[in-house]
Amino acid sequence: MASLKEEVLSRRTFAIISHPDAGKTTLTEKLLLFGGAIRDAGTVKGKKTGKFATSDWMEIEKQRGISVTSSVMQFHYHDCHVNILDTPGHEDFSEDTYRTLMAVDSAVMIIDAAKGIEAQTKKLFKVCKMRGIPIFTFINKLDRQAKPPLELLAELEEVLGIESYPMNWPIGMGKEFFGIYDRFNERIEQFRTEKEEDRFLPLNEEGELAVNHEIKKSALYDQMLEEIMLLEEAGNEFSKERIAEGELTPVFFGSALTNFGVQTFLETYLQFAPPPQPRQSDQGEIDPVNEQFSGFIFKIQANMNPAHRDRIAFFRICSGKFERGMSVTLTRTGKTSKVSQSTQFLADDRSTVNEAVSGDIIGLYDTGNYQIGDTLVGGKPLFQYEKLPQFAPELFVKVSAKNVMKQKSFHKGIEQLVQEGAIQLYKTLHTENYILGAVGQLQFEVFEHRMKGEYNSEVVMEPMGSKIARWIENEEDVKESLSSSRSLLVKDRHGKLVFLFENDFALRWFQDKNEHIKLYHPLDEKSY
C-alpha cells in the first residue's frame, strides 16, 4: 500500500474555465476518454443522437446544451489520479465557479482560437491569478479559421497580463490545418493521418523535420519555422518555477472536438501541474500530508438523483485521509458525526468511496446540516479554513406558489435550492413575503424549472429589477421607518437585516441622511 505522502503527491485537481461555447465540456469529455472513464464521448452539440455530455447532467443543461452547475469527474492516467471540476461557463453562474476555483490546485483555461479572450474568461482568470494558482492554456478549434497564433499570444499577455510559453505551435489552420510543431516533445504531430504510426514526425537537432515529407515544400511549413525562430529569440523562457507560481502559462494549440492535441496536452499538464498544496486556516497553514483529516465544503447540490430527493455536499479534502465511517467534527457547530455515506462522481454516475486522500473531491450525503464554506475535521485540534467568496445579488424577484394548496412543496423546494448558494432568499419584515436575489437572470429560470420538475411546485415570479444589497453592522440602530420603496428593508435567510437600494443614487442619499448607520457589502472587494 502506498504511503499517504505518495498517494497525495499523485493527485492533480484542476478546474476548467472558459467563456461559454469555447469547448470546455468537449475538452472534459476527451480527457475522460483518455482516462478510460468513458467509452464514448457524447458531445453537447450531438443532440439528435440522444448523446449528452457526461458532465452535463441536469435536465435544463441537456435541453440547452450549456453547463449551469459545476461537475466533478475523476480518473487515473499513468501514475496520476486526476480530479477535474468542469465549471459553468455562463456568467450568471460565476459565483458557483468562483467557489469551485477555491477547491483546486491549478486551472486549465480554454480559449476559442477565432474569438480570442472573451469577457468571462477574463473574470475567471482574475480569480486564479489572485489565488496565485498555475494556469495552463488550451487554444481550441484550430480546425476552423482563427486569429493568427502570434496575435492570440499577444492578446493573452496584454489582456490578462500573464506571460506565455507556447509548448506547441500550429502549422496552418482551418481547412489548411496540417498539425502542430511540438516544441516540448521535439516532434511534429499530424492532424490527419492514415496510419496511427505516422502521426508523429521526428525533428533533427536544428529543429527541422528529420524525414522527407511533402509538408516541407509548403509555405505553411516555412512560415511555421520563421515563427518558431521568432519565439526562440524574442519569446519568454520556459520556467517550471514561474509556472508553479502562476506567472507563466504554458500554451497548447489543438482541437478538442476532433481530439487533436488533447493527449499531448494531458501528458504535459500532468508533468507540470502541482499536487495538492498547503491551505490557509485560522490556525495557520495546513500541510496536505498532515495525518489529521480535514477539508471544506465548496458546493451543495440538491436532487442529483431525483428518485431519492438527495442532497450532496461537495467536499475538498485538504489534509490526511478519509475513511468511510470515520467521525468528523463540523467546526462551525462543534458537533461530531459519523460519515457513513460518501461518494465519488462521474457527473451523475456515482460510486461509494471508502477511502480518499488530500486533493480528492468527495460527495457527502447531507440532511441539511452543512453550509457552503463549512470545515470538517477529524480529531483535535479544531480549525476553520478560509472563508469562501459570497456575492451580493444584483437582480431580484418576488416569488410565490401558483397553487396555494402546494405550499409545503413550495417551501421545501425554496429551502433546499437556496442552500445550494446559487440564489439568495430574503423575506419582507412582517408579511414574510419571499424575495429571491441572484447574480443573473438565468439563475431564476433554472430555479423555476427545478421547482416545477423536482418539487412539483409551479411558481409565480414578479421582477423587481436590479437592486443594491447592503447589510448593516449596527442593526440595533435601524428603525423600520427607514424602509421605503427606494430602500426596502428585508431579512436574509440567517435573519440579518438587509437594505435593498433602488440604485446608486438611493444608496448615497440614504448614507448622507443616516450617517450613523454603517452599511457593508458581504464580500470585501479587496480580497476578490
Is 88 annotated to bind ligand? yes
Is 516 annotated to bind ligand? no
Packing angle of the helix pair 94-101, 119-131 (nearest 10 deg): 30
Upper half-sphere CA count for residue 260 (Cβ side, 13 Å): 28
Output b/e per residue, 126-158; b: 16+ Cβ within 10 A: ebbbeeebbbbbbbbbbbeebbebeebbeebee
Is 46 annotated to bind ligand? no
Is 310 annotated to bind ligand? no
Is 140 annotated to bind ligand? yes
Number of CB atoms found within 10 A of residue 256's CB: 27
Is 302 annotated to bind ligand? no
Is 89 annotated to bind ligand? yes
Is 236 annotated to bind ligand? no
Is 306 annotated to bind ligand? no
Q: 338 is written with which cell numbers?
A: 459519523
Residue 157 backbone phi and psi in degrees, to 5: -75, -40
The sign of the CA dihedral 287, 288, 294, 298 is: positive
Is 22 annotated to bind ligand? yes
Is 21 annotated to bind ligand? yes
Is 308 annotated to bind ligand? no
Is 87 annotated to bind ligand? yes
Is 25 annotated to bind ligand? yes
Residue 415 backbone phi and psi in degrees, to 5: -60, -45
Rounded-to-integer distance, Cα 43 and Cα 308, Å: 28
Contacts of 308 (CB under 8 A, 6+ apart): none
Asked whether the beta carbons of 121 and 18 are under 8 A apart, the reply is: yes
Q: How far is CA 121 from CA 21, 100, 118, in A?
A: 11, 15, 6
Is 389 annotated to bind ligand? no
Is 141 annotated to bind ligand? yes
Is 523 annotated to bind ligand? no
Residues tagged in the binding site annotation:
18-25, 86-90, 140-143
Residues tagged in the binding site annotation for GTP:
18-25, 86-90, 140-143
